[in-house]
Each structure stands twice: as C-alpha cells, then as structure tokens.
Chains A and B, each alone.
Chain A
C-alpha cells in the first residue's frame, strides 16, 4: 500500500485507544442485557427442575436434564426433522433462485417489471404467507386440491397437512416460496457483473450453452451462491412460524423442528428445565455451525479465485 507518512500516522492512531470500545459500548450493553443475559439465565435454568407456572419451587438437578434430553429419542428425532427441513428449504429455494436469476438475465419484454415483482414474496409478512398457503392446501375449500382434481391428478381431496408423507414437503415448499427471492436478487447481481467478453470468447472457441453455463456462469456466481446459501440456511434453521401455524409440528412429530420443540416444552408443558436445556444445546449446536462456517471461509481463501 502506498500510504504517506501522515496517513500511516492516521492509520496507526486508529488502532490505538479506547475509541473502538466506546463505539461498541452502547450496542454491547444492549446485547449483554437482552441477548447475553437471557442466554446465561437459560443456561442456569438448564440445571434445575421447575415448572414455568410455579417458579418458586426450583430444585437443582445437576446434569440430569442433559442426560434426559440427550437420551430422549424425541430430541434426536426433532434434530433430524430440522435437518430435513433446512436442507429441503435451502435446496428448493436455491434452485428457484438460481433458475429465476438465469431467466431474468436473458433479455425479454417486460423483464424490468418481472425483476421488480420477483422480490414481492419476500416482502410479504411470514404469517400472511403461511395463512394463504394454509387455506390453499385445505382439503375441502383449498384451490390446490380443486386444480389437481380438474387436471385429473387426484380423485378425492388430499389432506396435505395431515399426512405423514406430505406435511414436510408442503412446509418446505411454503418456506422456499417465501425465501427464494433473496437468492434471485443476489445471483442476478453476480450474473450482471460477469463480463460479456468472456461469453463472446467462449463462443468463438465453440462453447455451447451448457459449456458457457459450466465454465463461465457457474464459476462467476459461486461466491455469491455461497453467501445466499448461508443466508437461507440461517433463516430456515431457526424458523418457527411455518411449522407451527401450518402443522403445529404434526402430524405426530413429522414437522416438529427444534424451534417448535423448545417452545412446546416451555409454553405447552411448562417444563422449564428441559426447555432451557434444549436452548443451551441449540446454542452449542449453533456455535459449532459458526465454527464450521469460518473454517469453510478460510478453506475457500486458499483456492484460486
């Protein structure tokens, strides 16, 4: 870097003193009060047995809650359901996002309008999204069964939300419908930044549609795709509303993701200990995911751009 001595002094002044901490202090105080404190409180409660409606009677049970939760098949089942849900949502919304971005990158009439409208599902409140689809999938009055009947694909109404085989695909579809536009936007921006000269050069070299996709388009959007995969993973992993409103975790435990599991333990069964234990385990699990993410980033840096 070509820093002048003055600039270098200015830069060295940046790294000194209490200013970084002073700037950080207000946000840090708030985080300590409303994020860190509840987490630590939760961790403390995980060593007790207590009922949410009668917190005066707390008994210290040590690691008993952890032993209980970790040997409870419902916990492992819920973790597996969360993985299914997250992976399903990430895959479907990425496919939709990539497909729509590739399309919106081709010139056609009304493309500007299509680009503006594609983001609308993302700006719709989660609960509205969920309610619309909830009614649309209703076996009696929902249009989805009606359309499928008219097309001759089904004969009688299917109770999509109440069948073991269909509940999870439905909530994955609804969640992906709401989340995919961010991927479209990000990937489209990356597509637009690929130099057209690269494509021209490839055509001169005789590359076909597939060749251009594989050797120019996909490498050009890989970094952005990674970002959008991370974003969608974060959203899907912690999501509560869809699984709760559409299926309440059911039928049985087919869609009981961890966020619903934690909630039910606390506010349906009032079991403070197991719920706090779950919250703490989620914290540890999330920490593991962040570490894996940082590792991935560092691994990516060694690769040629």
Chain B
C-alpha cells in the first residue's frame, strides 16, 4: 500500500467516524427519550390538579404543575408510616444478611470442603424459585408463631430470598480477590480469621457495599411477601400502599403517580449515593463458575 492511499484511507476513516458519531448521538437521543419518557410522564402526571388527568390525556405539556397530589397523599394516606415500615424492614434484613453471607461466601471461596458443591448448587437453585412458592409454608409457620401482620415476620420473610442472593454476589467477588494477601498476613503471624478481618474485608469493601445495595434494592422492591403476610394498613410497606391505588386509580391517577415518585426517592437516593461501588463491586465471578 502506497503512502498516499494510506492517508486517503485515514481521511475517509475520519469522515466515517464523524458520521458514525453523529448517528450514534442521534440514536442515543431517541432511545434516551423512549427510556426516560415514563419517568417524565410520572412526574408530570403527579403535578396535575386533582382529577384533571381524567379530563384529557397528558402526553407532553401539562397545564400546570402543583403539589396538590403530594399533599393529598401525605394527608389522606399513611405514606410516611409505610415509608418508615419499608425502611425498617429493608435496613434490618440487609444488615442481618450481609455479615452472615460474607462469612459463608468467604468459606466457599477459600476452602475446599465436603458439601461445598451442594452449597453452591443450593444457593443458585433458591434464586430461581419465585417468592410465591414458599408463601404457604411461611404463612402457616408465621400464623403458628404469631408473626403474621408483624414487621419482624416480614423481615424474616425477606431474609429467605436475600440470603442466597447475597452469598452468591459476595462469593463471586471474593473469588476474584487472590488469596496471596491473606497468606502473607498468616505467614506474618495473623490467624486465619485475623487475616480475613484485617486483610480480606478491607479489600472486599466494594463487593460488600454492592451486595448490600442489591439486598437493599431487592427488599425495597418486595411486594408479594409483604402482601400475603400483613393485613392491617399500618403494617404495610410502601409497595402495598402503591398497589392499593390500583383499586381507586381511575379517580386518583395524580395521587398514584405522586406516591410513586415518593416511593422511588429513597431507593434512588441510596442507589445514587452508592452506585460508584456497583461497577467495581460486581465482579460476578460467581456466575462464570
């Protein structure tokens, strides 16, 4: 290939690059609109005056933006109580599960012992099971022990799906950390557990935070377990409160959307605060075997 044809090639490449970039930007913009339109619509509908969404369809420009629906939800529904319940259950279950899962994941990632494969198999298997498939036994046991309509019961129910998931994420992460650091610490006189606490845990912080974040968001998402296990509205988590709007939604679209905005804020806030851990923390080695 001669010199001139190389430079011609480079010039046409630059043109193609520019064109490609322009196309990608246009496509990204279009896709961005499709992806974010539902959020836009939620916020716009939540700002409409009571009952007005029935009168006309809100596609783009709202007539007015107000906080009427928010005030109505806060005054007429125990929204704050539901949010507090959700926070309590979510934080308790996450805080309970994460350290135990960390110990188990450490054991699975560093030791070869009898029953290890069975454990790995079981942990993956339980993640495939719908929450509804353990509802009957949980319901019966909780009824026998007075845990129905009880936030402690809801917390325990959340642990059933959080524990396998958290072990799985942490196992994947710990596998990606070489054991050499711990071994050096042990050569220097640390006990095995001491090496784990002083060497492995600090290195694994991004993974631990990511697993905790997943657990938090999963709990915040939960709906059917709480639905089947609680009956009185003062024990509801926020997703149950949202679901109740379905029954009255033809008259209360604005309130339903206002409540949706309020229910999203805590989850989004936690997510935004911790999301820098997400990329590094999700080694996902676990899934690669």
Distance, CA A263 to CA B100, complexed state (A): 30
Query: Does B231 interact with chain A (Cβ within 8 Å)?
Result: no
Q: How many chain B residues have a CB neighbour from A under 8 Å?
A: 98
Contact A123 B267 (CB under 8 A): yes
- Which of B42, B110, B130, B217 contacts A258, CB < 8 Å? B130
What are the interface flags for A106-145 relative to B under an 8 Å C-beta threshold, 1 for contact and 0 otherwise?
1111000010111111011111110111111000011101
Chain B contact residues, majority secondary structure: helix
Q: How many A-B residue pairs have CB under 8 A?
A: 272
Contact A146 B121 (CB under 8 A): no
Task: Pick the interface stretch among A38-46, A61-69, A163-171.
Answer: A38-46
Contact B128 A103 (CB under 8 A): no
Query: Does B152 interact with chain A (Cβ within 8 Å)?
Result: no
CB of A8 to closest CB in B, whole Å? 10
- Which of A23, A42, A141, A298 contacts B133, CB < 8 Å? A42
Distance, CA A189 to CA B167, complexed state (A): 23
B268 and chain A: residue at smallest CB distance: A123
Contact A131 B256 (CB under 8 A): yes
Which residues of chain A (210-261) have a CB below 8 Å from chain B?
223, 227, 230-231, 234, 237-241, 244-245, 258-260
Distance, CA A27 to CA B136, complexed state (A): 23
What are the interface flags for A180-204 relative to B under an 8 Å C-beta threshold, 1 for contact and 0 otherwise?
0000011001000000000000010
Distance, CA A39 to CA B124, complexed state (A): 15
Contact B287 A27 (CB under 8 A): no
Contact A141 B163 (CB under 8 A): no
Task: Pick the interface stretch among B64-72, B73-81, B201-209, B221-229.
Answer: B221-229
Known contacts A124-B264, A125-B239, A262-B133: A290-B128 contact under CB 8 Å: yes
B186 and chain A: residue at smallest CB distance: A10
B99 and chain A: residue at smallest CB distance: A26
Query: Does B3 interact with chain A (Cβ within 8 Å)?
Result: no
Which residues of chain B (54-104) have a CB below 8 Å from chain A?
54, 57-59, 100-101, 103-104
Contact B127 A132 (CB under 8 A): no
A102 and chain B: residue at smallest CB distance: B24
Known contacts A128-B263, A230-B287, A266-B136: A123-B103 contact under CB 8 Å: no
Query: Does B159 interact with chain A (Cβ within 8 Å)?
Result: yes
Query: Does B151 interact with chain A (Cβ within 8 Å)?
Result: no
Known contacts A108-B25, A238-B130: A34-B160 contact under CB 8 Å: yes
Contact B246 A20 (CB under 8 A): no
Known contacts A28-B104, A128-B264: A279-B133 contact under CB 8 Å: yes
Which residues of chain A (21-62) have a CB below 8 Å from chain B?
21, 23-24, 26-28, 30-31, 34-35, 37-39, 41-42, 45, 52, 55
Contact A267 B135 (CB under 8 A): yes
Chain A contact residues, majority secondary structure: helix
Query: Does A80 interact with chain B (Cβ within 8 Å)?
Result: no
Known contacts A15-B111, A38-B160: A127-B137 contact under CB 8 Å: no
Query: Does A289 interact with chain B (Cβ within 8 Å)?
Result: yes
Contact B267 A100 (CB under 8 A): no
CB of B161 to closest CB in A, whole Å? 8
CB of B101 to closest CB in A, whole Å? 6
A20 and chain B: residue at smallest CB distance: B111
B106 and chain A: residue at smallest CB distance: A23
Binding site for A on B (CB under 8 A): 13, 20-21, 24-25, 27-28, 31-32, 35-36, 38-39, 41-42, 45, 53-54, 57-59, 100-101, 103-104, 106-108, 110-113, 116, 119, 121-122, 124-141, 156-157, 159-160, 163-164, 167, 179, 183, 186-187, 192-193, 217, 220-221, 223-224, 228, 238-239, 242-243, 245-246, 249, 253, 256-257, 260, 263-264, 267-268, 271-272, 275, 278-279, 282, 284, 287-289
A-B contact pairs, 8 of them (CB 8 A): A26-B104, A30-B163, A107-B21, A119-B278, A125-B263, A128-B260, A177-B35, A238-B131
Q: A14-B110, A272-B136, A276-B137 are in contact. List 7 more A-B contacts (CB 8 A).
A: A10-B187, A27-B103, A35-B164, A39-B137, A123-B275, A128-B260, A177-B35
Binding site for B on A (CB under 8 A): 6-7, 10-11, 13-15, 19-21, 23-24, 26-28, 30-31, 34-35, 37-39, 41-42, 45, 52, 55, 99-100, 103-104, 106-109, 114, 116-121, 123-129, 131-136, 141-143, 145-147, 150, 177, 185-186, 189, 203, 209, 223, 227, 230-231, 234, 237-241, 244-245, 258-260, 262-263, 266-267, 272, 275-276, 278-279, 282-283, 286-287, 289-290, 293-294, 297-298, 301
